[in-house]
Chains A and B, each alone.
Chain A
Amino acid sequence: MRRYIIVSFVMCVAWIDVHSQSTGSTSNLTKKNIESVARITASHINSKKTANSKDIITTFFRASIDNLLGEDRTYVLNSSFYGINRLFSRNVAIDYERERVLRHNTFNLGFTGDESSKITNIAGGLTITILDKRDIKSERYHNGEFNSLVNTEQIISGIRRGLCDYFAKFNPEYYNTKEGLKIRQAIDESWNRAFETSNFSGIDTNITNALKDYNFDSLVLTSNKTNFSSYDFQGIKENILNGGNPLTLEYEKVAMAYAQKPFWSISPKISYDRIHKQGEYSLASTFTFGLGKSHQKPWEFEAKSQFKIANDSSVISSNYNDKPLSLSIGLNKVLLENKAQESAMEFKFFTQYNYQFGNTSPGLSSNVFTLNTTLRVNLYKSLWLPITIKYDPDKGSVFGLFTLTANIDN
C-alpha cells in the first residue's frame, strides 16, 4: 500500500511536470520565421530565489513528502492558482495583474499516513501573499534597480550607432557595393550572436578594431544625445573588448536584487483527524528578506510563526486542548551554486520557541526552546532534500527530520 502511494505520488508529480512545459501566451508573431534561434540561457528571476524561500510559496506546483523516514509521513501537493489556470487555459493570455494575483496565492492538499499506510489526517489550506516585493515583472516596487541597466542600454545603443557611423566614414564601400552589404550584415550577425551567447571571443574583427580606434570614441560621444558619461562609456566598451556581456551582467544584478527583497505570507489550514474524528485549525505566517550587499551565495533572514488548535490525544473525548504557538527566527545561507549561479546547497540555522496554551502532559514543560539546522541539498533539477536537525538544550536531545520536495516552476 505504501509503495502504491509513493509511486502514485511520483507519477502525479511527473505528469504535472510534463504538462507544465507550456510555451507561453498567444503571440501574433510566428516562431517559424525566426532566423536567429540562439537564446541566452540567462537565469530567470525565479532561479535566483533560494530553495528555502521557494518552500514558502511555489510559482507553479510543489510536491513534498515530509518526515520521509518517520512513522507518519505527510504527502503534500501545493499549487498556485496560476498553475491550475495554465493547465486548463494554456493558450489564453491574461492581464498581468490578474496573473499576479493567481501566482501569489496557492492552495495545498495533503494527507498523513501511518506505518500501516492508513490515512490518519487529511488537510487543505491556502497560502496568501500579503507582500511580495520580489516580483520583477511588477512596476509597483521600483526603487531604482533598473537605472544602471537602462544607462547601460543607452550606452550600448550609442556604441551600435557609433559603429555604423565609423564604418560609414572609414569604410564607405560597405554601403556602396553588394559585397560591402554582405560584410555589413556579417558584422551584425557577429554582434547579435555575441550578445545572445555572451561569448565575445570570436566577434568580428571589424568591431574590435573599431572599438580600439580613438576616432570611434569621438564619434560616439559627439552624437551622444542621451548624455551618458564618458567614464561609463569607456567602462562598457572595455567590458566588451574583454569578452564580457554588459547587458546580461547588469540584468543579473537586477534579478539578484529583486530576489533579496521582502516577502510575507499567511497560511490558514484546516485538517481532519480521522483517528479522533475532529478538525484541526492553524494559522501560520512567514516573512523573509535577503541580507547583505553581495548577491553571490546570499544570506536570507526568516521569521515564522504558527498557532494551532487541535485535539489533545491524551484525552479520550473530543476536545480542542492542544493549542501550541510556535515562533522561529533564522538565517539561511546559500553554500553552493551551480554553473547557472542557481542555489545547489543551502544551510539554515534557526531558533524555535514553542508555547503550549492548552494542556501540557505531566512531566513536560509548557514552553520549549530548540536550536535547529536545516541542510538543503539539490538532488536533481527542482528536487531537493531538506534535512532538519533539532536540538533541545534543556533535555540535551537531538532528533532529525527528512523531507523530499520538488518545485515545478514556470
Chain B
Amino acid sequence: MKQITIKGEFSNNGNNLLILEVYRPNVLQNPYEFKKTFTQSFQETLSDLVDETVYHIDFVGHTPEEIMIEISGQFESPNPISNSFEATGFSAGYTIKTT
C-alpha cells in the first residue's frame, strides 16, 4: 500500500470551503472513493492506495483570502504538487500514479 498526504492552508478563518475528492473510477480495477469538505486548514493522509495505480485528486471551493494546497507522498513525479488560489472560487485537479 502507498501513502499520500494532502494539505490545505487557509490564510483566514472565515467563509472558506474546500471539497476534496480522491478517487479512481468504478469501471477500473481497484476503484477508490474519498470525499471530504473542509472550512479550515487541514492535513489528510491516505494510506490505502494500491501500488502503481492511477488516482485523481480534485479541489473545488472558495476563499475570501488565500489557500495554499500541497500533495506529497509515494507517487511518481511531479512530486510534490503545490498550488494556491486567492480571493475567488477555484477548481483544480491532478492525476497521480503511485510508485
Contact = CB atoms under 8 A, between A and B. Distances in A.
Interface string A135-162: 0111100100010011011101100110
A39 B85 contact: yes
Contacts of B23: 161, 164
A27 B68 contact: yes
B80 A95 contact: no
Interface size, B (range): 35 or more
B54 A160 contact: no
Nearest to A46: B87
Interface in B41-99: 54, 56, 58, 60-62, 64-66, 68-70, 78, 80-95, 97
Nearest to A139: B14
Contact of B12 (A28, A137, A169): A137
Most chain B CB inside 10 Å of its own CB: which residue of A42, A149, A153: A153
A157 B21 CA distance: 8
Contact of B87 (A44, A172, A185, A196): A44
A191 B9 contact: no
A150 B80 CA distance: 28
A48 B3 CA distance: 43
Interface in A74-100: 95-97, 99
Chain A CB within 10 Å — which of B64, B85, B86, B93 has the most? B93
A33 B83 CA distance: 8
Contact of B64 (A99, A137, A152, A196): A137
A98 B81 CA distance: 33
Contacts of A99: 12
Interface of A: 24-25, 27-29, 31, 33-36, 39-40, 42-45, 95-97, 99, 136-139, 142, 146, 149-150, 152-154, 156-157, 160-161, 164-165, 168-169, 172, 175, 181, 184-185, 188, 191-192, 195-196, 247-248, 250-251
